[in-house]
């Protein structure tokens, strides 16, 4: 009996130990379930419910603007959407939701037709979210079946919606193109017709001390002749790029639509896209150092303030904003838009556009789409060429951008008429401090002629009020009336004279134009 009691005592102690261990494990499991439940609830609130069908998932994601919490330290410099909405941590549930949305889009035979801006915006926003996720998965070297499924669906949509890079011979996708881009530089497009204008602009850039490399983008062997190629490549820091080869284009165009495509074809990560007839008074690289550019990675300039409806422009642009950016039309990034306030017919001048691809790539791709068929005809019927498509794309995707304060002005000669002063000439732009920066339009006739109809820049006129602006549009060049020698904080139309150093640059512009174009 004593032995039996001894054994019983040992077993009793062990049983108590097992019970305590069991209770402890039960508590741990319960806490884990509570944590997982809270985790799931948190993500369902952030991401929306993963729908029971791929169409539900598509509907859940297309109309929102979010920024993604980085997966790793390498991806802190996000590809887009850095400040555009609530932050979402990338989870498997969120990734699967985006993949389901992509599947729904890819199940359709084609992209939206040229008149359906609402659906184009929806699909572009879904692509943007997938792009941002895939960009991070690649940056963080996150190899998994999830990444493979995302890649498959993203690439399918890219081939339909943005087919240029992915169908070209150099890169497998827009993300790869972005990751292999390097440095800063200037991009211009030209063909044989305006090669002399490009030569003038580049020579002037060198004259003022430009240090940035320049890529001249043309499209196909027929676009830029050998004589013109030789002349351009002889200039300092110039490289020629055939975007037909880089982007695998089946057919070349020769208009405004080539400009955003040239950004895709360029090797630079940070790009100053400029017209061949844009002329600078300051080093163009100063644009990269402005507060405006550093904040967003996308910098645009305003066009002239012309009355809403001038030349039929204005109403069409508001329609495009309200459809392409439908979910955000009451909360636009550019909340000082003159067109949306119906005080101007035009908003932006695309003579100079500054882009950081790492922060703007989805917007760059959408800009290219808006300047391509089937959307180009509708866009160009409602606006003047490519110039409004840049901010349209950013608004549609809620990717931040900055627009310089001063509205487009005039630069040329000053005239007095009935006690009023006006400046007639090219489209003028000041820097952040109100000093002459660049202007658009060249100096005179853009092909060799006996009569060059030149204007020598000596005075400038600008304004930042956006109301009661007096433009004379009866002939060319346009003229802006303003107040002579107004103080620097004067927001209405004001007129000033170029400084002595700026006049030296102006004279060089004129002399070089005569040298290149005078017959």
Instruction: Find the helix packing angle between 54-61 and 117-139, rounded to 10°.
Output: 90
Say whether pLDDT at 65 is over 80. Answer: no
Ordered strands of the 298-302 beta sheet:
238-242, 214-218, 184-189, 270-274, 348-356, 298-302, 402-403
> What is residue 34's predicted lDDT score, i.e. its pLDDT?
37
What does the block give as tokens for 381? 């019927």
CA 13 to chain centre: 73
Taking the C-alpha atoms of residue 230 and residue 214, their distance in angstroms, rounded to an integer, is 15
Using alpha carbons, select from 151, 217, 155, 213 the residue that is nearest to residue 184. Answer: 213
3-state DSSP call for residue 90? coil
pLDDT at 473: 96
Instruction: Give the Cβ contact number of residue 497 at 10 Å.
Output: 14
Of 65 and 29, the structure prediction assigns the larger pLDDT to 65
390-446 pLDDT per residue, tens: 999 999 999 999 999 999 999 999 999 889 999 999 999 999 999 999 999 999 999
Mean pLDDT score, 460-475: 96
User: Does position 47 have pLDDT exceeding 50, yes or no?
Assistant: no
Confidence of residue 59 (pLDDT cuts 50, 70, 90): low
How many angstroms separate the Cα of 260 from the Cα of each of 367, 408, 511?
7, 21, 32
pLDDT at 70: 77
Residues above pLDDT 70, as percent of the chain: 85
Report the sign of the C-alpha dihedral through residues 130, 135, 137, 143, in that order: positive
What is the pLDDT of the chain when averaged over all its residues?
89
331: which residues sit within 8 A by CB, 6+ positions away?
none
Phi, psi of 394 (to 5 degrees): -65, -40
| pLDDT reported for residue 71 | 78
Per-residue pLDDT tens digits for 76-92: 665 665 555 666 678 88
pLDDT value for 254: 85
Is the confidence at residue 37, as pLDDT, over 70? no
Q: Which residues make Cβ contacts (< 8 Å) with residue 383, sequence separation at least 6?
A: 313, 316, 317, 320, 346, 389
Token readout for 270 is 């940070």
Per-residue pLDDT for 459 more than 90?
yes
Question: In percent, how much of the chain has pLDDT > 90?
Answer: 78
Rounded to the nearest 5°, which phi and psi values hold at 72?
-155, 170
Would you say residue 461 has pLDDT above 80?
Answer: yes
Taken in order of first residue, the domains within the chain and their CATH numbers are 54-161 (no CATH), 178-403 (3.90.550.10), 407-517 (no CATH)
Instruction: State CA 476 to chain mean position distance.
Output: 31
Going from the C-alpha of 71 to that of each of 135, 139, 347, 389, the distances in angstroms are 10, 9, 38, 32
As a whole number, mean pLDDT of residues 1-25 equals 48
Q: What pTM value is reported for the model? A: 0.88
Between 401 and 221, where is the model more confident? 401
482-511 pLDDT, tens digit each: 999 898 789 999 999 999 999 999 999 999
Please choose, from the candidates 404, 214, 392, the residue with its C-alpha nearest in 3D space to the C-alpha of residue 292: 404
Least trusted range by pLDDT, from 71-75, 85-89, 185-189, 282-286: 85-89
């Amino acid at each position: 009996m004593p032995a039996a009691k001894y054994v019983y005592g040992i077993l009793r102690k062990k049983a108590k130990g097992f019970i305590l261990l069991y209770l402890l494990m039960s508590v741990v499991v319960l806490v884990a379930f509570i944590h997982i439940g809270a985790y799931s609830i948190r993500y369902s609130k952030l991401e929306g419910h993963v729908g029971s069908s791929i169409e539900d998932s598509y509907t859940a994601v297309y109309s929102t603007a979010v920024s993604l919490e980085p997966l790793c330290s390498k991806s802190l410099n996000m590809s887009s959407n850095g400040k555009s909405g609530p932050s979402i941590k990338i989870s498997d549930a969120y990734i699967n939701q985006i993949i389901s949305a992509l599947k729904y889009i890819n199940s359709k035979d084609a992209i939206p037709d040229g008149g359906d801006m609402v659906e184009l915006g929806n699909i572009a926003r879904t692509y943007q979210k997938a792009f941002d996720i895939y960009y991070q998965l690649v940056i963080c070297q996150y190899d998994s079946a999830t990444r493979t499924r995302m890649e498959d669906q993203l690439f399918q949509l890219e081939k339909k919606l943005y087919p240029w890079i992915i169908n070209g011979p150099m890169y497998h996708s827009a993300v790869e193109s972005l990751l292999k881009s390097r440095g800063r530089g200037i991009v211009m497009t030209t063909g044989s017709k305006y090669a002399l204008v490009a030569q003038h602009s580049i020579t002037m850039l060198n004259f003022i001390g430009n240090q940035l490399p320049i890529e001249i983008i043309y499209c196909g062997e027929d676009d830029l002749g050998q004589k013109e190629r030789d002349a351009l490549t002889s200039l300092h820091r110039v490289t020629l790029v055939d975007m037909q080869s880089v982007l695998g284009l089946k057919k070349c165009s020769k208009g405004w639509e080539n400009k955003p495509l040239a950004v895709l074809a360029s090797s630079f990560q940070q790009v100053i896209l400029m017209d061949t007839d844009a002329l600078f008074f300051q080093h163009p690289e100063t644009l990269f150092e402005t507060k405006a550019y550093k904040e967003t990675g996308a910098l645009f300039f305003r066009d002239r303030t012309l009355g809403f409806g001038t030349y039929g422009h204005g109403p069409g642009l508001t329609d495009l904003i309200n459809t392409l950016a439908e979910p955000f039309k009451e909360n636009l990034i550019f909340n000082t838009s003159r067109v949306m306030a119906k005080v101007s017919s035009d908003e932006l001048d695309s003579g100079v556009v500054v882009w950081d691809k790492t922060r703007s790539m989805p917007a760059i791709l959408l800009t290219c789409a808006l300047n391509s068929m089937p959307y180009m005809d509708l866009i160009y019927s409602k606006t003047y060429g490519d110039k409004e498509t840049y901010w349209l794309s950013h608004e549609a995707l809620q990717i931040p951008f900055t627009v310089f304060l001063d509205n487009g002005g005039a630069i040329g000669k000053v005239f007095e008429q009935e006690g009023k002063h006006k400046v007639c000439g090219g489209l003028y732009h000041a820097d952040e401090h109100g000093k002459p920066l660049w202007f658009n339009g060249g100096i005179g006739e853009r092909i060799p002629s006996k009569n060059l109809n030149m204007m020598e820049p000596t005075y400038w006129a600008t304004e930042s009020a956006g109301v009661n602006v007096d433009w004379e549009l009866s002939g060319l060049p346009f003229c802006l009336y303003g107040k002579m020698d107004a103080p620097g904080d004067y927001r209405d139309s004001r007129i000033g004279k170029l400084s002595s150093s700026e006049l030296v640059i102006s004279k060089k512009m004129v002399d070089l134009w005569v040298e290149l174009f005078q017959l």
